[in-house]
Every structure is written in C-alpha cells, then in structure tokens.
Amino acid sequence: MFRKISTSKLIILFIILFGLVLILQWWDSHKGERSFNSQIVRIDSAAVSTLIIYPKDKSAGEVKLFREGETWKMSAKNKIYQADVNYIKSVLAELKKLKAERIAATDKSKWKDYELNDTSCTHVIIKEGNSEVSDLFIGKFTFQQNNNPYQRGYGSVTSYIRIKNDDRVYATEGMISMAFNRDVNMFRNKSLVSGKKENWNKLTFIYPADSSFTVEKQNNKWTLNGSAVDSTKLTNYLSTLESVSGSDFMDNAPLGGATIYKLKIEGAGLIQPVEISAAVADTLNRFVLSSTANEAKFSCKNKFEQHIFVNKQTFLK
C-alpha cells in the first residue's frame, strides 16, 4: 500500500514539475516581447543641447545641431550655419512620441534584415549638456496596405529601430527616418523676419526713384503715407511676410551688386529693425536676397521676393 501511494505521488509530482518546465520555457520565449519599455526616447526637450546625425547615406557625413547661447547652430562638412529652430522643436517632439509597438527581433543576427547594421542605418545621438541621453539606430520602414474595403485609410507604416547596448529590434509607427535623411540645407534657418506681426508698427519700403513709401501704425490704425489702408489687404500681407522664408541658399553669392529694393520692419520687441534687401545678381538668380535676421543669402530665381517688395496698391482700398 505504501509503495502504491508513493508511486502515485511521484507521478503527480512529475506531472507538476513537467508542467512547470513547460510554463518556464513558454515564459522565457516570450519575455523579450513582454519585458520592454515602450518609450524609446527619454529626453527633456528644454535641456537638449546637441543632436548628432549620421544619415543612411554615409557619404553625406555628420550633421551636428547644437545650442550656442540662446540660438541653435548646425555644422556639416566643416562649415557652420544657423539652424532651423522649428525643425529642431518638431523632431524632438516626434522623438518623444516614439513608441515601441512590439519587438521584431531579439538577436543582432537579424539586424541586417531590418537595415540596422552600422553601415546601413541612420544613427542619431542626443545629448543634454555633456551627457548622452539617447543613442538610437533607425533602419528600414515597411508599408502595410489596408485591404479592408469597409475601413478608410491608406494603411500603416512601420519603422524599425534599435538602441545602443540593446540587441533587440523595435517596431514603431511612422517614418521617423525621413526627418534625418534630407538635404543638409533643410536643417538650416531659412526665415527672413523676426518678431510677431501683431507687434510690428512700421514698414518702410525703400525703392528706386520716388516709389518708396511707408505703412505705419498710429493710435491703433494703419496708414500709408498718411492715407487709410484696406485692413484686409494689410492683414493678408503681414501674414505672408511673417511666414516668408528663403529656399535656395547662395553661399557664394557675388558681392558688390547694387541694392534695388529694401524693406525695414520696426516694432515692439525688436532689438533693432529687421532689414530685408535685394541686390542685383545674375540672369538666373535675378537678385541676392539678404536679411539682418539671417546671416544666409538667398537666390530669387523663384521670384519669391515679389511677396516681400510690393507696391502701394497692395494696401490701398
């Protein structure tokens, strides 16, 4: 009887142990997918001081965005330029929202499949002061077509990312690599004005001969050389001027061309007036456009200066 009981207990114990082994094996095989933090990038946007970008095209070289006092600069190919602050704010916000939806692979042998080898990926390093707070590698992205005829939309895009000192490959939503793989000039400051249109109170248009004029705000009313202006036309122009930006940089712009047009913007909050000038260039570029709000010079081959240097009729009723 004692032997029968002992045998029964041993069988039960064996079954229990075998079940535990199976559970542990299952848990071990899935723990990579369960034990990860979905937030890929942890940064304080206000404290970020440097972004270092190594694009997928390695021949493009390093692009470095860095704070210098109250401004942002960028360096590329041994040259330093003013950086696009709006781009920096936008990309930091996108990085903070980056979430891992799942783990696509757990071993570095799979990196090649996701274009995450050092030679095939986009590499981004983020620093706060001298401390490196994020170091990520961005690989390929895939597009999933929405084949459900009852659901609207064009499908979904998945990007694959890995983090320094972590062999796992994370799948995330979106095409974050597009923010870093771009022409180097896209990182540069292209704005031509500073301040807000609500704070401007005087625009002086300096043109050849006797065509110059002034639009000025006094006692909350805008006038042109003393005559009333069309408020809708004025508002439209100020909105355009506030958002105007260059696109074609002229880093080797010819010097000495005669200045044909000039606009001086004055207002509250401006330490000094903003002056935008157009000087004669060649036949292709037409004018070299410069601004005291930006150290860069721009080509006017796309005629965008016509949105800045307007005539009196732009404002009159």
Instruction: Find the CATH number of the domain harbouring 209.
Output: 3.30.1490
Residue pLDDT, tens place only, 60-72: 899 999 999 889 9
55 with 146, same domain: the answer is yes
Judge if 77 and 141 occupy the same domain. Answer: yes
In a domain, 306, yes or no: yes
Candidate from 31-35, 75-79, 209-213, 225-229 with smallest mean pLDDT = 31-35
Q: Is the pLDDT of residue 57 over 60?
A: yes
- Please report the pLDDT score of residue 6 as a whole number: 66
**pTM value?**
0.80
250 and 150 in one domain?
Answer: no
Q: Are 208 and 260 in contact (CB under 8 A)?
A: yes
Query: Domain count of the chain?
Result: 2
Task: Assess whether 56 and 170 both reside in one domain.
Answer: yes
- The pLDDT value recorded for residue 144 is 79
Under 8 Å between Cβ of 74 and 187:
yes
> Per the domain annotation, does 280 fall within a domain?
yes
On whether both 161 and 263 belong to a single domain, the answer is: no
**Which of the listed residues 187, 219, 251 is the one where a domain comes to its end?**
187
One-letter amino acid of 69: G
Does residue 175 lie within any of the structural domains? yes
Residue 133, pLDDT score:
96
Please indicate, yes or no, whether residues 178 and 270 belong to a single structural domain of this protein: no
pLDDT of 249 > 80? The answer is yes
Residue 36 domain flag? no
Name the token pair of 286.
């037409």
Last residue of a domain, one of 132, 160, 187: 187
Does a structural domain hold residue 21? no
| Domain membership flag for residue 74 | yes
Boundary of a domain, candidates 141, 156, 187: 187
Q: Is residue 173 over pLDDT 90?
A: yes
158 and 226 share a domain?
no
Helix/strand/coil (H, E, C) string of 37-49?
CCECCCCCCCCCC
Residues 169 and 209 in one domain: no
Residues 278 and 149 in one domain: no
Q: Please, which pLDDT band fits residue 32 given cuts at 50, 70 and 90? A: very low
Contacts of 135 (CB under 8 A, 6+ apart): 123, 124, 125, 126, 163, 164
Same domain, 181 and 71: yes
Considering the domain boundaries, does residue 300 fall inside one?
yes
| 314 touches 235 (CB < 8 A) | no
User: Do 166 and 251 fall into the same domain?
Assistant: no
User: Residue 108 is part of which domain span?
Assistant: 50-187
Q: What is the tens place of the pLDDT at every residue in 61-119? A: 999 999 998 899 999 999 999 999 999 999 999 999 999 999 999 999 999 999 999 99
